[in-house]
Structure 1
Amino acid sequence: MPLRLILMRHAKSSWGDPLQEDIDRPLTARGQRNALSMGHWLKERGYIPDHALVSSATRTQQTYDQVCHALGTEPENTLLEALYLASDGCLLRALHRTRGQTVLLIAHNPGIGDFAARFPDKAPDHRKCGSYPTCATTVYELGCEDWRDATWGKNRILDFATPKEIEAGRH
């Protein structure tokens, strides 16, 4: 079975406390709902991760928790400070050190959007893939058999969705 990557931007987070550190911002009620929706979507389509790489930010951890709740399972996970506001190159380096057949990676823009643009073998045909809105999710089938060999431009997009589409029943 080929390696799969589930690339997810964290769900909508709160800006309600101007004194709160960015890394500590929690999800809004909409963000909680969106993350659950994306978890249900993953489960319905059979995209079940066996490992997760999650940024150390509160909003990414809460996104992960909601996704796991919807999946009905909690894959082994690794919290990484290096994923907080990471560049696309940093995200790729984190993948090189991962394990598992299907990996969920939850991180932040702009790095995750840049990653989503560079990782596939051909440009995505979805208009929202370029901006990578909150909780956007892309599922890739890798063009290699070992995470250490993952690279740009060699991976097939299997699926892409946003919570807005899922919740409106358009996907």
Structure 2
Amino acid sequence: MSRRLILTRHAKSAWDHPDLDDHDRPLTRRGERSATAIGRWLSENDHRPEVALLSTARRVVETWAGIGPRLCAAPNAVRDRALYHSSPETMLAALVGRPEACVILIAHNPGMATLAQRLVRTTPDRGEFAYFPTCATLILDFEVASWGDVAPREGHVVDFVVPRDLTD
């Protein structure tokens, strides 16, 4: 059986209010456009997750708000405080036990970039992959029976895209 993991870093967020708690920072207009573009791209390429696992940060929830409606049938979204600035291990733990075969996980760097680097069998030939910029999206396939069987260097890269690839 195969499993598909879509890793997306949250879109560009605002730093306009230095007194605002990091958890509560919203997206910028550019971030909103990027999330919409990624959602459209996912839909057009038939990358349709069955569930969205989200950090509880406002910028992640708003990123999902841009992506989800672009999918014909937006999946259930699960907000998990543990995914806020989480480690790669915590992100993987959030998958264990999930019954869905296709999951989108939207979270933060540096954990997202590190997780992506650890999971890929072959690194995409793109400089941006190393730092996983805002709203970067990686599609990985695993030939495993359950999410608990996912191991480092076993993910087959289906695609990697950044918003700049999709907008003028």
TM-score for the superposition, normalised by structure 2: 0.96
The SS at the match of 1:123 is coil
* Cα deviation 1:5-38 (Å, max 9, x = unaligned): 0000000000011110000001011100000000
Query: 2: CA distance between counterparts of 1:42 and 1:164?
Result: 15
Q: Which residue of 2 aligns with 1:136?
A: 136
Query: 2: CA distance between counterparts of 1:72 and 1:18?
Result: 37
Query: 2: CA distance between counterparts of 1:141 and 1:6?
Result: 9
Structure 1 segments (4+ residues) deviating >2 Å: none
**1:15-54 paired onto structure 2 within 5 Å:** 15-54=15-54
The CA RMSD measured in Å over matched residues stands at: 1.1
Query: 1: CA distance between counterparts of 2:52 and 2:126?
Result: 25
Query: 1: CA distance between counterparts of 2:60 and 2:99?
Result: 20
Q: Which residue of 2 aligns with 1:65?
A: 65
Q: Which residue of 1 aligns with 2:55?
A: 55
The SS at the match of 2:128 is coil
Whether 1:88 and 2:94 are equivalent positions in the alignment is: no
TM-score for the superposition, normalised by structure 1: 0.94
Aligned AA (2:137): T
Aligned AA (2:154): K
* Cα deviation 1:60-99 (Å, max 9, x = unaligned): 0010111012224320121000000001111111121323
Unaligned 5+ segments in structure 1 are: none
Unaligned 5+ segments in structure 2 are: none
Q: Which residue of 2 aligns with 1:109?
A: 109
Give, in angstroms, the shift of residue 152 of structure 1. Answer: 1.1
Query: 2: CA distance between counterparts of 1:125 and 1:69?
Result: 30
Q: Percent identity?
A: 38
How many correspondences in the alignment?
A: 168
Q: Which residue of 2 aligns with 1:76?
A: 76
